[in-house]
């Protein structure tokens, strides 16, 4: 039966179940009417939502004023509905927005009126109905734009000097039904600290604890607004402020500080706060580490007296059997796992008594493939993937035609960089004058490679986390890359990324003594570089330079969403190939040493996914190898080697050559002011042996 939307009777404009639900939140007919809440007519449900779900029975619509028609929907499903059944949904591709009731909007900039922030439209409306200036988040994490920054709706509010009170449900600190931390404490406090940065005085209202979950609307139905104002309110302080305020080394407050330090992801930050805590309390650092270690999820960096048989949880982005991190239709991060030939989507993975949990979306600096799309591609023979990648890359820039093969193979290689047959990875180098499309090409690649991260600085902690925790492909986009690396002391990270198993060592805790003071970070991973200035010659030996011709045109701007489908197809390809043997390739004459090490995996990938172009790839790699030999020959060292070859007799396995003869040949065509002088020590002969001697 269609709902008659034009009927003035509120009950006739709402499904009976919807009207009852709104009344359970204590909303009056007047509040419902002013908010414009309606039931979507059954005939319009799929059009309104933007997708079809046969299990949906009815939909309640909450319109968000001033957001170009944005709405959220509460869904009631039929008893036989299959698949996932989220309670609240919004149209795909829409961003987080703030629910601002009409009575609150005139007071957004009145800093004399306290602002209350709660979770959900109904709670915000009930708060306003009882006289509060209240706004609603669609979820405790939905104040962020995905990068831990405030959504733009919050920027219309004047927070300077304003009293802001966050009112989460009473279960926000309790574990979920599986016994795991819901991570809502971090959501609430992260929002609080962002609002403090805007000048607000932030506190958290504690609703009464009990066996039943209650929110702001539930409390106000049972209690007066005066009772609400008498509830406990905890002012939000930074860790520094709380540590500075501790006068004694005992009590609940100190224990809460321990827990907050334990939640920090950065070991350096933990050590900094432990040092501050030592100064304030006088407690030895080792004792503080022991106490904090009880609460650390991954306590490898702290001494802990935790029992060995106690189950552990770690946030993890890499372990055997993991295809990749993916997202479901609601944006939740999940694991795509492979066991034998079976793929599964899981919320967690248990390995050796350790429960691995996926990091939250806010902690990941790259787009995640959609789980449903990846699984669909896994069922298909994606025979055009290689060609489609080249077509995609050509939309954004221009390189010399044969080099598209190298770029496409490198994209595939990034998805199997952890394969046991892969030991070295080529660095892709875009080195050219400005305005040649280096950054554009790099960004186009980073949006489709495995866990691509675009960086424009060299912050050591970030590089270690991207490499070790995320196992990311890193695109270094810096005008003077090597000079910046020398200034920041990160040369070893750049030089070692091409080799599997390579680690960089840092002394982090000098007071712990030998061995325990040092941390070793894994830095291996696919690498893309764009720079205007020449890189160090040793780093250059690990890279393949991609020529960037000067061919201006109207190229597209690369964007993450433009590469998402290819990323999902490549993830499906990884799922199929991650446990398959790579094809063998014969050594290519003329491609030697380190250049062979980094070229071999490209050839293996090409032979596996696009064998028709293997000969073309061999040809372009030989050209690169020839250019590298020519560049090397132009150096003094290269000239000396050439002269030694010219002066060497045939048919002997070992012989000696006078250094004076080498010097004479080296200076034959040099002007007097540029002639080279050699410092000759005990003897004036150069021993020389053939490669087979």
Whether the pLDDT of residue 187 is over 90: the answer is no
Both 67 and 122 in a single domain? no
Domain final residue, candidates 235, 270, 290: 235
Q: CATH number of the domain that 139 lies in?
A: 3.40.1360.10
- Alpha helices (H) along 73-215: 121-129, 184-197
List pLDDT tens digits, range 306-346: 334 444 688 899 999 999 999 998 889 999 999 888 999 99
Written as six digits, the tokens of 117 are 């922030």
Q: Residue 538: which pLDDT band, with cuts at 50, 70 and 90?
A: very high
Phi-psi region of 131 (alpha: psi -120 to 50; beta: other; left: phi over 0): left
Edge-first strand listing for the sheet containing 163-167: 134-137, 115-119, 163-167, 201-205, 233-235
CB 437 within 8 A of CB 398: yes
Tell me which DSSP letter residue 480 carries. T
Would you say residue 14 lies in a domain?
yes
The whole-chain average pLDDT of the chain stands at 86
Would you say residue 440 lies in a domain?
yes
At 287, give phi and psi (nearest 5°).
Answer: -65, -40
Identify which has the larger pLDDT, 2 or 529.
Answer: 529
Q: How far apart are CA 392 and CA 555, in angstroms?
A: 11
pLDDT of residue 267: 74
CB 196 within 8 A of CB 202: yes
Exposed, middle or buried: residue 304 (CB in 10 Å: 0-12, 13-18, 19+)?
middle
Q: Residue 633: which pLDDT band, with cuts at 50, 70 and 90?
A: low
Both 319 and 288 in a single domain? no
Q: Residue 176: which pLDDT band, with cuts at 50, 70 and 90?
A: low
* pTM over 0.75, yes/no: no
Both 165 and 284 in a single domain? no
Neighbouring residues of 355: CB distance < 8 A, sequence distance ≥ 6: 180, 311, 312, 313, 314, 348, 349
Tell me which DSSP letter residue 535 carries. P
User: What DSSP element (H or E) covers 445?
Assistant: helix 438-446
Both 128 and 247 in a single domain? no
pLDDT of residue 310: 42
Total structural domains within the chain: 6
Both 251 and 182 in a single domain? no
How do beta strands 201-205 and 233-235 pair? antiparallel
List pLDDT tens digits, range 276-288: 888 888 888 888 8
Exposed, middle or buried: residue 463 (CB in 10 Å: 0-12, 13-18, 19+)?
buried
Question: How many CA atoms lie within 13 Å of 662's alpha carbon, on the beta-carbon side?
Answer: 24
pLDDT of residue 280: 85
pLDDT of residue 435: 82
Whether the pLDDT of residue 299 is over 70: the answer is no
pLDDT of residue 627: 87
CA angle (35 as vertex; 29, 38 as ends), nearest 5: 80
Domain final residue, candidates 204, 235, 266: 235
- DSSP, collapsed to helix, strand or coil, labels residue 31 as helix
Both 243 and 131 in a single domain? no
Taking alpha carbons only, the member of 269, 278, 268 closest to residue 244 is 278
Q: CATH number of the domain that 564 lies in?
A: 3.40.50.300
Give the number of other CB atoms < 10 A from CB of residue 526: 27
Both 567 and 655 in a single domain? no
Q: How far apart are CA 429 and CA 583, in angstroms?
A: 26
How do beta strands 654-658 and 685-689 pair? antiparallel
pLDDT of residue 177: 53
Would you say residue 536 lies in a domain?
yes
Would you say residue 2 lies in a domain?
no
Would you say residue 591 lies in a domain?
yes
pLDDT of residue 621: 96
Tell me which DSSP letter residue 451 carries. T
pLDDT of residue 183: 66
Tell me which DSSP letter residue 651 carries. T
Q: What's the sign of the alpha-carbon dihedral 158, 33, 25, 68?
A: negative
Q: How far apart are CA 501 and CA 665, in angstroms?
A: 44
Would you say residue 425 lies in a domain?
yes
pLDDT of residue 178: 45
Identify which has the larger pLDDT, 6 or 32.
Answer: 32
User: What is the domain range of residue 600?
Assistant: 385-630
Q: How far apart are CA 98 and CA 118, in angstroms?
A: 11
Q: From residue 249, how far is each of 239, 252, 273 by CA, in Å?
A: 15, 10, 15
Would you say residue 684 lies in a domain?
yes
Taking alpha carbons only, the member of 667, 669, 670, 647 closest to residue 658 is 647
Both 604 and 680 in a single domain? no
Over pLDDT 90: what percentage of the chain? 54
Question: How many CA atoms lie within 13 Å of 216's alpha carbon, on the beta-carbon side?
Answer: 30
How do beta strands 163-167 and 354-357 pair? unpaired
CB 59 within 8 A of CB 82: no
Lowest-pLDDT range of 103-112, 507-516, 529-538: 507-516
- DSSP, collapsed to helix, strand or coil, labels residue 642 as helix
CA angle (225 as vertex; 219, 228 as ends), nearest 5: 55
CB 141 within 8 A of CB 158: no
Would you say residue 115 lies in a domain?
yes
Taking alpha carbons only, the member of 63, 141, 143, 139 closest to residue 102 is 63
Both 619 and 640 in a single domain? no
Q: How far apart are CA 81 and CA 85, in angstroms?
A: 8
Exposed, middle or buried: residue 472 (CB in 10 Å: 0-12, 13-18, 19+)?
buried
Both 513 and 622 in a single domain? yes
Both 44 and 153 in a single domain? no
pLDDT of residue 685: 54
Both 52 and 81 in a single domain? yes
Give the number of other CB atoms < 10 A from CB of residue 604: 23
Q: How far apart are CA 623 and CA 409, in angstroms?
A: 17
At 395, give phi and psi (nearest 5°).
Answer: -70, -20
pLDDT of residue 179: 45
Q: How far apart are CA 179 and CA 67, in angstroms?
A: 38
Q: Mean pLDDT throughout 525-551? A: 92
Written as six digits, the tokens of 538 are 């040793």
């Amino acid at each position: 039966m269609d709902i008659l939307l034009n009927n003035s009777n509120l009950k006739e404009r709402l499904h009976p179940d919807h009207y009852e639900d709104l009344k359970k939140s204590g909303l009056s007919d007047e509040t419902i009417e002013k908010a414009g809440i309606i039931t979507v007519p059954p005939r319009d449900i799929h059009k309104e939502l933007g997708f079809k779900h046969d299990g949906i029975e009815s939909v309640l619509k909450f319109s968000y004023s001033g957001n170009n028609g944005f709405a959220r929907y509460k869904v009631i499903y039929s008893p036989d509905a299959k698949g996932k059944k989220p309670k609240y949904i919004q149209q795909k591709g829409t961003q987080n927005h703030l629910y601002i009731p009409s009575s609150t909007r005139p007071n957004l900039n009145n800093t004399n009126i306290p602002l209350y922030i709660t979770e959900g439209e109904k709670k915000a409306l009930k708060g306003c109905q009882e006289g509060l200036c209240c706004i609603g988040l669609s979820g405790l994490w939905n104040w962020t734009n995905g990068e831990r920054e405030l959504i733009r709706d919050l920027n219309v509010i004047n927070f300077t000097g304003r009293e802001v009170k966050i009112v989460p449900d009473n279960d926000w600190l309790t574990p979920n039904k599986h016994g795991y931390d819901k991570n809502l404490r971090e959501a609430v406090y992260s929002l609080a600290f962002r609002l403090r940065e805007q000048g607000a005085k932030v506190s958290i209202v504690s609703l009464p604890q009990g066996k039943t979950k209650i929110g702001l609307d539930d409390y106000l139905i049972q209690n007066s607004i005066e009772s609400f104002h008498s509830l406990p309110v905890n002012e939000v302080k930074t860790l520094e402020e709380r540590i500075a305020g501790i006068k004694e080394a005992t009590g609940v407050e100190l224990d809460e500080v321990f827990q907050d330090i334990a939640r920090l992801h950065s070991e350096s930050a933990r050590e900094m706060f432990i040092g501050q805590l030592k100064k304030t309390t006088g407690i030895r650092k080792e004792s503080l580490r022991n106490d904090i270690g009880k609460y650390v999820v991954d306590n490898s960096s702290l001494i802990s007296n935790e029992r060995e048989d106690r189950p552990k949880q770690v946030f993890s982005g890499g372990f055997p059997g993991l295809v990749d991190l993916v997202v479901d239709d609601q944006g939740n991060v999940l694991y795509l796992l492979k066991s034998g030939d079976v793929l599964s989507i899981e919320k967690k993975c248990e390995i050796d008594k350790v429960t691995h949990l996926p990091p939250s979306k806010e902690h990941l600096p790259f787009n995640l493939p959609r789980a449903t799309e990846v699984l669909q591609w896994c069922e298909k023979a994606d025979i055009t993937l290689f060609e489609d990648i080249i077509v995609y890359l050509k939309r954004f820039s221009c390189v010399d035609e044969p080099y598209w093969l190298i770029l496409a193979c490198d994209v595939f290689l990034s998805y199997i960089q952890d394969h046991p047959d892969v030991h070295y990875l080529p660095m892709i180098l875009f080195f050219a004058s400005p305005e040649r499309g280096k950054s554009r090409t790099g960004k186009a690649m980073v949006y489709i490679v495995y866990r691509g991260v675009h960086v424009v600085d060299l912050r050591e902690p970030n590089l270690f986390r991207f490499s070790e925790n995320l196992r990311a492909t890193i695109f270094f986009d810096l005008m003077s890359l090597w000079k910046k690396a020398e200034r920041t002391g990160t040369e070893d990270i750049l030089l070692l990324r091409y080799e599997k198993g390579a680690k960089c060592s840092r002394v982090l805790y000098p007071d712990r003594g030998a061995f325990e003071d040092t941390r070793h970070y894994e830095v291996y991973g696919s690498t893309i570089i764009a720079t205007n200035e020449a890189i160090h010659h040793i780093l250059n030996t690990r890279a393949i330079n991609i020529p960037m011709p000067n061919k201006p045109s109207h190229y597209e701007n690369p964007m993450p969403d433009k590469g998402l489908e290819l990323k999902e197809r490549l993830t499906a390809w990884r799922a199929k190939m991650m446990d398959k043997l790579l094809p063998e390739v014969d050594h290519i004459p003329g491609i030697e040493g380190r250049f062979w090490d980094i070229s071999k995996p490209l050839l293996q990938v090409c032979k596996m996914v696009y064998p028709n172009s293997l000969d073309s790839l061999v040809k372009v790699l030989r050209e690169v190898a020839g250019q590298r030999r020519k560049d090397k020959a132009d150096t003094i060292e290269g000239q000396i080697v050439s002269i030694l070859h010219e002066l060497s007799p045939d048919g002997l396995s070992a012989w000696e050559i006078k250094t004076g003869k080498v010097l004479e040949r080296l200076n034959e065509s040099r002007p007097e002011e540029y002639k080279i002088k050699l410092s000759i020590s005990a003897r004036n002969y150069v021993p020389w042996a053939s490669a087979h001697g």
